């Protein structure tokens, strides 16, 4: 039910970024396949099975025969308001089960969705491996993005959480503490939720204020600081619509300071470049210089860094924004 609008999270995004990286002289490395076992370090196995199987089940149930229904669209969502005090079971019907994992109506599953999301994970994990092999900065050109995916919920054009999986792999490879710094224009509620109660992974994010009506709407506020063992390990920097380089870079500086205070041994950067002024999906007004400055600040940490692509939807400027960030970061990174 509703109106179909053109998506902005499209394959051309990857192409323009890859071309810009090549022109800038970056070494390009193919992603290496990684075992599915890595996924369960961050995600509920039921989410992975759902994403893998739901489109074929959707076809088998005959829904694809309706016009506009070739991709899985959830219609029923067991929210807290719906359940109240009732216990809930897993839905038997594929059209209802979708809404137990997917929390919006814009993150559809088509025939190639799982393969693409799974390949993006391989891309992020390959970047971690490059760090293990001695690189100081490795950038993962992931698509679809991932930072809106929680342990078992997907949405916001994301299916598997590439950045969270990279952070967990850095932990598994020996970094005692890892920081995830999220520069995407939208709060990375998935990564935040995954690490909210953990004291070994810091999550810091600068993003447009959800209180001003922006996705993910109900979380991403400054008073969310972690809970339980993770108390104090979440830091949100919500910014007003219209915030520019100066305000944004100050917030990035505060996040970078929190990484130092946390004594992180490695960093994952969720590099959304949709905070840029030209971007259609956010009202922030950051420039390429702003992204370059953020890169310098994170590079000055002199920590092994995996940079994971998140959002960014303005095709003409996407490549330049990513290159500006990496230029800033690499100029300050350790050179062995």
Q: Closest CB to a copy of itself among 27 and 66? A: 66
| Token duo for residue 242 | 């219209």
Q: Which residue reads 């970061």 in tokens?
A: 329
Least distance from C-beta 217 to a copy of itself, angstroms? 4
150 binds a copy of itself (CB under 8 A): yes
Candidates 5, 92, 108, 103; CA nearest to 51 is: 108
Candidates 83-91, 163-171, 266-274, 283-291: pick the segment binding a copy of itself (CB under 8 A).
83-91
Candidates 224-232, 278-286, 292-300, 319-327: pick the segment binding a copy of itself (CB under 8 A).
224-232
64 binds a copy of itself (CB under 8 A): no
Q: Are 174 and 198 in contact (CB under 8 A)?
A: no
Candidates 82-90, 114-122, 131-139, 162-170: pick the segment binding a copy of itself (CB under 8 A).
82-90
99 binds a copy of itself (CB under 8 A): yes
Q: Closest CB to a copy of itself among 136 and 189? A: 189
Least distance from C-beta 87 to a copy of itself, angstroms? 6
Give the contacts of 85 (CB within 8 A, at least 6 positions apart).
none
Least distance from C-beta 46 to a copy of itself, angstroms? 10
35 binds a copy of itself (CB under 8 A): no
Q: Closest CB to a copy of itself among 33 and 45? A: 45
- DSSP 3-state assignment of 18? helix
Catalytic residue among 148, 186, 187, 314: 148
| Token duo for residue 6 | 């053109």
Candidates 99-107, 138-146, 168-176, 278-286: pick the segment binding a copy of itself (CB under 8 A).
99-107
For residues 164-223, which are near a copy of itself according to CB under 8 A? 189, 192-194, 196-197, 210-219, 221
Q: Are 11 and 116 in contact (CB under 8 A)?
A: no
Q: Are 237 and 255 in contact (CB under 8 A)?
A: yes
Asked if 148 is an active-site residue, the reply is yes
Q: Which residue reads 């999906």 in tokens?
A: 281
Side-chain-side CA neighbours of residue 225 (13 Å): 5
181 to each of 191, 259, 302, how far by Cα in Å?
10, 8, 14
Q: Are 14 and 319 in contact (CB under 8 A)?
A: no
Distance CA 197, CA 309 (A): 25
Candidates 158, 156, 147; CA nearest to 117 is: 158
Least distance from C-beta 189 to a copy of itself, angstroms? 7
Q: Closest CB to a copy of itself among 180 and 303? A: 180
Entry field: residues in the chain: 336
263 binds a copy of itself (CB under 8 A): no
Q: Name the site residues for a copy of itself (rule: CB under 8 A).
A: 1-5, 47, 66-69, 73-93, 96, 99-101, 103-106, 108, 150-153, 155, 189, 192-194, 196-197, 210-219, 221, 224, 227-228
Residues carrying an active site annotation: 148
């Amino acid at each position: 039910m509703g109106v179909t609008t053109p998506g902005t999270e499209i394959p051309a995004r990857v192409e323009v970024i890859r071309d810009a990286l090549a022109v800038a002289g970056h070494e390009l490395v193919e992603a290496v396949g990684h075992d599915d076992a890595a996924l369960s370090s961050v995600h509920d196995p039921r989410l992975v099975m759902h994403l893998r199987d739901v489109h074929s089940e959707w076809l088998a149930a005959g829904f694809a025969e309706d016009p506009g229904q070739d991709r899985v669209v959830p219609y029923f969502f067991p929210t807290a308001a719906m359940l109240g005090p009732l216990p809930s079971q897993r839905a038997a019907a594929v059209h209802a089960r979708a809404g137990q994992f997917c929390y919006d109506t814009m993150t559809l599953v088509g025939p190639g969705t799982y393969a693409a999301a799974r390949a993006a994970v391989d891309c992020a994990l390959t970047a971690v491996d490059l760090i293990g092999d001695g690189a100081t900065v490795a950038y993962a050109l992931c698509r679809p993005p991932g930072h809106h995916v929680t342990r078992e919920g997907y949405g916001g054009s994301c299916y598997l959480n590439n950045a969270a999986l990279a952070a967990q792999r850095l932990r598994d490879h020996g970094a005692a503490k890892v920081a995830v710094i999220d520069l995407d224009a939208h709060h990375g509620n998935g990564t935040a939720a995954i690490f909210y109660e953990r004291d070994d992974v810091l999550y810091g994010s600068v993003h447009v204020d959800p209180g001003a009506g922006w996705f993910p709407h109900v979380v991403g506020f400054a008073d969310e600081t972690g809970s339980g063992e993770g108390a104090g390990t979440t830091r949100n920097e919500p910014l007003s619509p219209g915030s520019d380089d100066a305000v944004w870079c100050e917030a990035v500086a505060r996040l970078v300071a929190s990484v130092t205070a946390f004594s992180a041994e490695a960093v994952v950067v969720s590099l959304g470049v949709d905070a840029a002024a030209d971007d259609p999906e956010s009202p922030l007004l950051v420039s390429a210089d702003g992204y370059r400055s953020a890169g310098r600040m994170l590079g000055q940490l002199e920590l092994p860094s995996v940079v994971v692509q998140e959002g960014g939807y303005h095709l003409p400027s996407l490549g330049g924004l990513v290159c500006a960030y990496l230029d800033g970061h690499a100029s300050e990174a350790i050179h062995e």
